[in-house]
Structure 1
Amino acid sequence: MIDFLSRLVVSFSGFVATIVLTRTLGQARYGTYVVIISVLAWAMIASNLGLDQAIKKRVSEATDGNYVIAGAIVQIGLYVIVAGCLWLASPYLNAYMGFDATLILIGLLAVRLVGNFVRTVLNGQHLVHVSSLLSPIELTSRSIVQIPLVIAGFGVTGAVAGYAIGAVVAALIGSYFISFDPSLPSRQDFTRLKSYAQFSWLASVKGRTFLSMDTLVLALFVSNSLIAVYEIAWNLASLFAIFGSSISRTLFPEISQLSSEEGVSGEVVGLLRVALAYAGLFIIPGLVGGTLVGDIILQIYGPGYDTGYYILLMLTFARLLYGYQRQFLTTLDAIDRPDLTFRINAVFVAANLVLNLAFTWQFGWYGAAVATTLSAALGLTLGYYYASTVITVDIPFDEIGKQALAAGIMAGVVYSLRTFVDDSLPLVLLFVGVGAVTYFSALFVLSHEFRTTVADNLPFRIPTLVWSYL
């Protein structure tokens, strides 16, 4: 719950901060900023190679071994190699990004890797609640610096500086809660990290492929202004997916510990079912709501952003598919079957790259959105297939259906309001609030499981919930 609430705060704060950036920088310069951050994300993948997943897995299950120090040593070595490659490629990188940012990129990479390492160790040590709080801290610190600098006229440089400072603040705070053995690790510690990372590295590539392969390919074929609109649509789609991401992140260390102690037990099967039941809790109504009022919501970011309406719908659907896929792959990783996720990820990455290049070349940004959606559908199919070979998969169709039905009821209410009332932005924002209340109220009535889950997670008992146990 802490992880979800922190992600909710981060998403809302990021929503507000992004509005300031888009309206102050304009589409072209905001698009340049997006491209820089996308290149940074891929540089992080090259500097990690699955190390974070290996550290999280080994730390979460370990009763011995010094995986924190071993992981830190490997991470430093990888950073030095990648930083050198970035420096050598600086002329080409600067031309691609449309900004002389290679030195900045190398500095940002160091900061982001430290922050990522801190979060990984905290998650592995079952301190997900602490790790989760670092995200709102980082975004708040970033915005405090970023927004004044951008408004003061520092443009893309100011936006990047705020990004770096926010990451530094979060890393420093998170490092306080890490516990580790300062002694030198053994050779076996490095070997066990390698044995997991040799399969899990592709998971990082797959995740980044889904999140920003389309952005990198778009930079080859369309202007930075269109990339800015595409990225805003992607951010809104991702806003609806935070609950599913929070579930997978929270359950990984629990399933990992259970499987290392008891093997693939019925409790692991139950946790996967719960993850699937709630992965679409927010994004299903988000897709329906986006269909009804997405065109108006996009106007918040400034003139011209409403052209991304259909992109928003396609990317939201892609996030829905990917959210379910993620629960299968997280479970496979947690039960120590990275070999299976490796196969899934290899197909996903190859398909995503080929589809993005082919479809974007032919159909522009709509092609990129379609390629991302098809890749997510393929990954979900493979995730279900491989998970079902090693674990009993109980798909909660009844709960997913009730969420869809509740979203349909919400759609009826919101559509009626929009039909009979003016389409001004303040009223549409009010419609969003009414729709959210309608959806959760309907789901509360329709689903006994949802009522029970709400009651179990409240810090106090509400009399009207007592009947849900009957």
Structure 2
Amino acid sequence: MVNFVSRFVMSVSGFVATVVLTRTLGQERYGTYVVALSILAWVAMAGKLGLPRAIQKRVSENTTGNFVLSGAIVQFGLYVIIVVALLLCRPYLNEFIGIDATWFLVAMLGSQLALSLVQKVLDGQHLVHISSLLSPVEWTCRSLVQVLLVLSGFKIAGAFVGYVVGALVAAALGTYFMTIPRTRPTRREFVRLKSYAQFSWLSSIKNRTFMSMDTIILAVFVSNSLIAVYEVAWNLASLFAIFGVSISQTLFPEISKISSEEGSHGEIAGLLRVSLAYSGLFIIPGLVGSALVGDVILTIYGPGFETGYYILLVLTFARLLYGYMRQFLNTIDAIDRPDLTFAVNAVFVVTNLVLNVVLTWQFSWYGAATATTLSSGLGLVLGYYYATQVVDVTVPVAEISKQCFAAVVMAAVVLLGRLLIGNSLPLVIGLVGVGAAVYFLVLLGLSEEFRTTVQDNLPFALPSLVSE
């Protein structure tokens, strides 16, 4: 719950900042900022090479060794190598982005790698609740600085500076809560990090491929204005997926620790079932709601953004598929079988790349969104297959069906409201709240498991939620 609330706060602050940036910078300049962030994401992935995930895994195990310091040493070395590469490619990067942004990329990369390292160490030390709080701290600081600087006339440079400040503040705060062993790292720690990272590096590529491959390919075929609309649609779709991300991030260190114990298969299977049961809790109604009021909600970002309505629907469905795939692969990784997820990730990356190039070339941004969806569907099938090889998989069909039914009831209410109030943005926003209330009330009535989960996670008793 701490992780989810933190991500929700992060999303709200990011949403506000995005609205300010799109309306202040305009579609073209905001699109340039998005392209720069996409390049940063790929560069950061190259600067990690699966190391943060390896650190998280090794720290979470019941073993001795200074994986914190050894991981930090390797991370710094990778950062230096990437910085040199960036400076050598500076003319080409600036030309691709459209502005002189290489030095901003260097600073943003350093701050992002530092924050990622701190968060993974905290996750591995079973301090997910602390690690989770760093994300809203980062995004809130980033958003405040960006808004202040952009409105003060610093334009796109203010957006870049805000990114660096937010990450550094969050990293500094997280370092305070870290426990750093006082022993000197030995060769054994480096070897064990390598043994996991040599497979997990492709997972980071898979995640980055899903998050921004389409944006990079779009930069070749369409204008930055369309990329701005596409990115806004993607951010909204991602907002619905934050609960599933919270589940996977929270369960990874727990499953990792359990897997090192004897007779843990039943408990691991139970945790996987729970993750599947709640992965779609928000994104299923989010998909339905987007279909009903997404065109109006997009107008918050400014004139012209409503053209991303159909893109929003396709990307939200892609995030739904990817969310379920993530739960399978997260479990496989946690039980120390990154070799299996390596196979899934390899297929996903190649498929996503090929489909993005071909479909974007033929169908513009609709092709990019479709490529992301198709590769997510294939990844889900493969993730399920490999998960069944190492753990007893029970898909909670009944719970997912109840979520779908509750979303249908919500849709009926929202559709009726939309017909009555029309396209008024303030009223549609209110209607979104009504729809969300209807969805959760119906689900509480239908699902005893959901009622029990809600009751167990509230700090006080609600008699009306107690299961019979």
TM-score range, shorter chain: over 0.9
Q: Which residue is equivalent to 1:127? A: 127
Correspondence 1:68 to 2:68: yes
SS in 2 for 1:281: coil
Seq. identity, %? 66
Deviation for aligned residue 1:104: 1.3
Correspondence 1:458 to 2:454: no
Q: Give deviations 1:409-453, integer Å, cap 9, x for gaps.
A: 000000011112232001100110000000000000011110010
- AA of the residue aligned to 1:441: L
SS in 2 for 1:99: coil
- Distance in 2, Cα, partners of 1:209 & 1:333: 18
Q: Once superposed, which parts of structure 1, at least 4 consecutive aligned residues long, lie more than 3 Å away?
A: none
SS in 2 for 1:227: helix
Q: Give deviations 1:313-355, integer Å, cap 9, x for gaps.
A: 0000000000000000000000000000000000000000000
Q: Give deviations 1:231-276, integer Å, cap 9, x for gaps.
A: 0000000000000000000000000000011354211000000000
Q: Is the 8 A contact 1:280 1:400 kept in 2?
A: yes
Deviation for aligned residue 1:27: 0.2
Q: Which residue is equivalent to 2:110? A: 110
- Distance in 2, Cα, partners of 1:176 & 1:412: 49
Aligned residues: 468
SS in 2 for 1:262: coil
SS in 2 for 1:238: helix
Q: Is the 8 A contact 1:215 1:227 kept in 2?
A: yes
Q: Give deviations 1:149-190, integer Å, cap 9, x for gaps.
A: 111221110100111101110011000001112332111110
- AA of the residue aligned to 2:409: I
Q: Is the 8 A contact 1:69 1:185 kept in 2?
A: yes
Deviation for aligned residue 1:63: 2.6
* 1:270-285 mapped onto 2 (5 Å cutoff): 270-285=270-285
SS in 1 for 2:208: helix
- Distance in 2, Cα, partners of 1:421 & 1:170: 42
- AA of the residue aligned to 1:190: F
- Distance in 2, Cα, partners of 1:145 & 1:411: 38
Q: Give deviations 1:91-143, integer Å, cap 9, x for gaps.
A: 11111111111111111111111111000100000000000001111111112
Correspondence 1:141 to 2:135: no
Q: Is the 8 A contact 1:69 1:182 kept in 2?
A: no
Q: CA RMSD in A?
A: 0.8
Q: Is the 8 A contact 1:264 1:335 kept in 2?
A: no
Correspondence 1:253 to 2:289: no
- Distance in 2, Cα, partners of 1:336 & 1:263: 16
Q: Is the 8 A contact 2:32 2:224 kept in 1?
A: yes
Q: Which residue is equivalent to 2:420? A: 420
Deviation for aligned residue 1:290: 0.1
Q: Which residue is equivalent to 1:197? A: 197
Q: Give deviations 1:23-42, integer Å, cap 9, x for gaps.
A: 11100000000111111111
* 1:246-325 mapped onto 2 (5 Å cutoff): 246-262=246-262, 264-325=264-325
* 1:309-348 mapped onto 2 (5 Å cutoff): 309-348=309-348
- AA of the residue aligned to 1:455: Q
Q: Which residue is equivalent to 2:224? A: 224
Once the two structures are overlaid, the 10-residue window that deviates more, 8-17 or 348-357, is 8-17
- Distance in 2, Cα, partners of 1:67 & 1:349: 29
Q: Is the 8 A contact 2:444 2:465 kept in 1?
A: no
SS in 1 for 2:461: coil
SS in 2 for 1:321: helix
Deviation for aligned residue 1:17: 1.2
Correspondence 1:172 to 2:172: yes
Question: What TM-score results when the alignment is normalised by the length of structure 2?
Answer: 0.99
Once the two structures are overlaid, the 10-residue window that deviates more, 393-402 or 131-140, is 131-140
Q: Is the 8 A contact 1:29 1:224 kept in 2?
A: yes
- AA of the residue aligned to 1:224: N
- Distance in 2, Cα, partners of 1:228 & 1:102: 21
Q: Which residue is equivalent to 1:11? A: 11
Deviation for aligned residue 1:280: 0.1
Q: Is the 8 A contact 2:40 2:109 kept in 1?
A: yes
Q: Which residue is equivalent to 1:20? A: 20
SS in 1 for 2:280: coil
Deviation for aligned residue 1:77: 0.8
Q: Which residue is equivalent to 1:355? A: 355
Q: Which residue is equivalent to 2:213? A: 213
Once the two structures are overlaid, the 10-residue window that deviates more, 255-264 or 165-174, is 255-264
Q: Which residue is equivalent to 1:244? A: 244
Q: Give deviations 1:177-208, integer Å, cap 9, x for gaps.
A: 01112332111110000000000000000000
- AA of the residue aligned to 2:396: P
SS in 1 for 2:204: helix
SS in 1 for 2:32: helix
- Distance in 2, Cα, partners of 1:60 & 1:207: 21
- AA of the residue aligned to 2:318: A
Q: Is the 8 A contact 2:65 2:183 kept in 1?
A: no
- Distance in 2, Cα, partners of 1:350 & 1:61: 32
Q: Is the 8 A contact 2:355 2:371 kept in 1?
A: yes
* 1:77-92 mapped onto 2 (5 Å cutoff): 77-92=77-92
Q: Is the 8 A contact 1:264 1:391 kept in 2?
A: no
Question: What TM-score results when the alignment is normalised by the length of structure 1?
Answer: 0.99
- AA of the residue aligned to 1:222: V
- Distance in 1, Cα, partners of 2:147 & 2:186: 46
